[in-house]
Structures are given as structure tokens and as C-alpha cells.
């Protein structure tokens, strides 16, 4: 039985700082989690988050794609990349045909944490699961645009539970959904609590609408072209009348759809290698891609209780 995170490197300069933080081991696939600046992290990721906070400086033109895990990060990466690069690539040359979206847009707290120069500067994107208030200050102070994707927390829970079980090898008998649900309600799982993660970006999007765009997974599902146009405008790459008449926003939506990406050879049989983490099979990032899959896992009673907790947390924020 393996776990997703490695133990912290004992020589690591952050070891002492991390070992003094509040701990919890209830999210079994990861093991010990540590509470830092209000959010929970496995030890290796936390080292990377702190390192990124201390050393990451974005390029002025960077676009920062933010999310809580399992909220649609890969989809957002694919969409934003396809929008911005649409004049350089077409439907037969788009790198998404050959690469997992995560390979095209690196994660700040994974690939870029130790060495922010270790990136292809032609790709003006950085992705992260780091909460808004913990983002490296140079990102907040820069002109960089931020897009945040949020998703129904019940679907996030189900996606997260399935993914972590598969990647860690810890099965549902050792980590039943009941336990995962309880941890979610307490907010104790990697990058949790969900409500604080979402609210950080939601409030920033209200305060700085030119800098932070807040989008919902479910809205993208219902009206992809509308939200793709919204994103393009926000990023300073609006679709022209001609492009709209040609159906270019729809082409982006189709290229990045779950149906299209999940059937590609790279996403069916490829692998994703990351420093200090186990190798992932690409298909683990494409499970069902649906809104409302939680109905196959949670009873109405459990869902109502979960909804009530979320409603209380979001109350007064204007977010539903």
C-alpha cells in the first residue's frame, strides 16, 4: 500500500517549521497533513508551497490558473491555452492532441517550486492549487491575470476520493467514502477547506474584477462558448466578429471537451512524471467529467447535510 506524498526530506530547511504545525492524519491516502496559513497540505507539497512563496516571480504576461484539486484544473488549462494560442495552432497542430494539459501548463507548487526558471516561457501559463491568500506575493502585486474554476463540492469530493484511492492504492475498505465525507466537512484534506479556498478567490474576483475571473465548472458544461468568450475577453484575446461567425469559440470548446480529450491516445495510455511524486497515469485525470456524479455515491440525506454545511460557510458571500 503506497501513499501519495513522500515523507519530508529530513535535510529540508523547512522541516522544523513544518513539524511545529497542527497535524491530522484522517485523509488516509496522503497520511499526515499540516495546517499552514489556514489550509491543509501533505509535507512534500507544503515544502514546495513555502518555497514558491519565497522564490517565485511570474513573467508580467503570465496567466495564473487556480483551482482547488479536482475542480476542473486540466479542463481550465486546456481551454485557456487553446484560447490564447488559437492563432498559432489549429485543430490538427494543437499540442493538446499529444500532451496531457498538465504537461502543457506546469504547476507552481510542483514543477516550478524549486526552480521557477524551469519552464517554457513561450507558454505564458502557471497553474496552482494554492489558496488566494497564500499565493506568492509577486503574483498578487503583478499585472498577471488569474482565472479560478470552482465546482460543486459534492462532485469535488467524489472526484478527489476516487482519484486518491486509485493513485495511493488505498482502497475503499481502508478509506470509505463516509470517512472522506467527514474529512471534507471538517475541511481537512489536501488544500482544504474547500469553502475557504473558493471564498478567497470569490472575494478577490469581486474586489479586483480586472485581475481575477471566477468561473464555475457547471456553467462551462451548460454554455461552454459563452464562457470561453468571457475568458478570452478577460485575457485580452477577445474573439473577433469573424471568429465568432466561423464558430471559433465552439471549436475551442469541442477541442477541450471531456469526450475529445479523454479519447486521445496520450490521455488513454500516457503517463505523467513529476518530481517527488509517484508517476500518474494520464487517464486518472479523465474519470467521468460530469456535473452531478455525486448522485451515484451520496444519499439525498447526506447530500442535504453537506449542502447545508456549504450553504452556512458561503452565507453572506453572494456565492451560491
**Mind telling me the catalytic residues?**
129
| Residues 256 to 275 in contact with ligand PAP, rule: CB under 6 A | 256-258, 261
- Smallest distance from ligand PAP to CB 289, Å: 3
**Stretch touching ligand PAP by CB under 6 A, among 136-144, 180-188, 250-258, 309-317:** 250-258
Site for ligand PAP (CB under 6 A): how many residues?
A: 21
Judged by CB under 6 A, the residue of 32, 51, 73, 168 near ligand PAP is 73
Judged by CB under 6 A, the residue of 50, 74, 180, 181 near ligand PAP is 74
- Under the binding rule (CB under 6 A), the answer on residue 86 touching ligand PAP is no
Residue 175 vs 285, nearer CB to ligand PAP: 285
Cell numbers of 100, please?
496531457
- Under the binding rule (CB under 6 A), the answer on residue 286 touching ligand PAP is yes
Judged by CB under 6 A, the residue of 31, 38, 69, 270 near ligand PAP is 69
- Smallest distance from ligand PAP to CB 198, Å: 13
Residue 152 vs 248, nearer CB to ligand PAP: 152
- Smallest distance from ligand PAP to CB 262, Å: 7
Residue 80 vs 261, nearer CB to ligand PAP: 261
- Under the binding rule (CB under 6 A), the answer on residue 82 touching ligand PAP is no
| Residues 158 to 177 in contact with ligand PAP, rule: CB under 6 A | 159, 162
- φ, ψ of residue 19 in degrees (nearest 5): -70, -20
Cell numbers of 142, please?
503583478
- Smallest distance from ligand PAP to CB 11, Å: 29
Residue 61 vs 257, nearer CB to ligand PAP: 257
Judged by CB under 6 A, the residue of 289, 298, 306, 313 near ligand PAP is 289
Q: How far apart are CA 241 and CA 65, in angstroms?
A: 27
Residue 14 vs 146, nearer CB to ligand PAP: 146
Q: How far apart are CA 178 and CA 302, in angstroms?
A: 10
Q: What is the DSSP string of the chain?
A: ---SSPPPPTT-TTHHHHHTS-EE--STTT--EEEETTEEE-HHHHHHHHHHHHH----TT-EEEEE-TTSSHHHHHHHHHHHHTTTT--TTT-GGGTS-HHHHS-BTTTTTSS-TTSS-TTS-EEEE---GGGS-HHHHHSS-EEEEEE--HHHHHHHHHHHHHHHH---TTTS-HHHHHHHHHHT-STT--HHHHHHHHHHHHHH-TTTEEEEEHHHHHH-HHHHHHHHHHHTT-PPPHHHHHHTHHHHHHHHHSHHHHHTSHHHHH-EE--TTSPPEEGGGG-S---SSGGGGTS-HHHHHHHHHHHHHHHTTTT--
Judged by CB under 6 A, the residue of 287, 297, 305, 314 near ligand PAP is 287
Cell numbers of 64, please?
495564473
- Smallest distance from ligand PAP to CB 151, Å: 8
- Smallest distance from ligand PAP to CB 78, Å: 6
Which residues would be at the binding site for ligand PAP (CB under 6 A)?
A: 67, 69-75, 155, 159, 162, 256-258, 261, 285-289, 293
Amino acid at each position: 500500500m503506497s501513499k501519495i506524498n513522500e515523507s519530508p526530506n529530513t535535510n529540508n530547511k523547512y522541516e522544523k517549521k513544518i513539524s511545529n504545525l497542527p497535524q491530522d492524519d484522517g485523509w488516509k491516502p496522503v497520511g499526515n497533513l499540516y495546517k499552514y496559513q489556514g489550509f491543509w497540505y501533505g509535507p512534500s507539497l507544503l515544502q514546495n508551497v513555502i518555497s514558491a512563496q519565497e522564490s517565485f516571480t511570474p513573467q508580467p504576461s503570465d496567466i495564473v490558473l487556480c483551482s482547488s484539486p479536482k475542480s476542473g484544473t486540466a479542463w481550465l488549462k486546456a481551454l485557456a491555452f487553446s484560447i490564447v494560442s488559437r492563432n498559432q495552432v489549429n485543430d490538427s497542430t494543437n499540442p493538446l492532441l499529444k500532451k496531457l494539459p498538465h504537461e502543457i501548463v506546469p504547476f507552481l507548487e510542483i514543477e516550478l517550486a524549486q526552480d521557477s526558471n524551469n519552464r517554457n516561457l513561450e507558454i505564458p501559463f502557471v497553474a496552482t492549487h494554492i489558496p488566494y491568500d497564500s499565493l506568492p506575493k509577486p503574483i498578487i502585486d503583478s499585472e498577471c491575470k488569474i482565472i479560478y474554476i470552482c465546482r460543486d463540492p459534492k462532485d469535488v469530493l467524489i472526484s478527489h476520493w476516487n482519484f486518491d484511492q486509485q493513485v495511493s492504492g488505498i482502497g475503499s475498505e481502508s478509506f470509505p467514502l463516509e470517512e472522506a465525507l467527514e474529512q471534507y466537512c471538517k475541511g481537512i484534506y489536501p488544500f482544504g477547506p474547500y469553502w475557504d479556498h473558493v471564498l478567497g478567490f470569490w472575494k478577490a474576483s469581486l474586489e479586483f474584477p480586472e485581475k481575477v475571473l471566477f468561473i464555475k465548472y457547471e456553467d462551462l458544461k451548460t454554455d461552454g462558448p459563452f464562457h470561453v468568450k468571457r475568458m478570452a475577453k478577460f485575457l485580452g484575446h477577445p474573439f473577433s466578429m469573424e471568429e465568432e461567425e466561423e464558430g471559433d469559440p465552439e471549436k475551442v470548446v469541442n477541442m477541450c471537451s471531456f469526450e475529445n480529450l479523454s479519447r486521445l491516445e496520450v490521455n488513454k495510455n500516457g503517463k505523467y512524471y513529476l518530481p517527488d511524486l509517484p508517476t500518474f497515469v494520464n487517464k486518472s485525470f479523465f474519470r467521468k467529467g460530469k456535473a452531478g456524479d455525486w448522485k451515484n455515491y451520496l444519499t439525498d440525506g447526506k447530500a442535504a447535510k453537506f449542502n447545508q454545511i456549504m450553504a452556512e460557510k458561503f452565507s453572506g458571500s453572494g456565492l451560491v
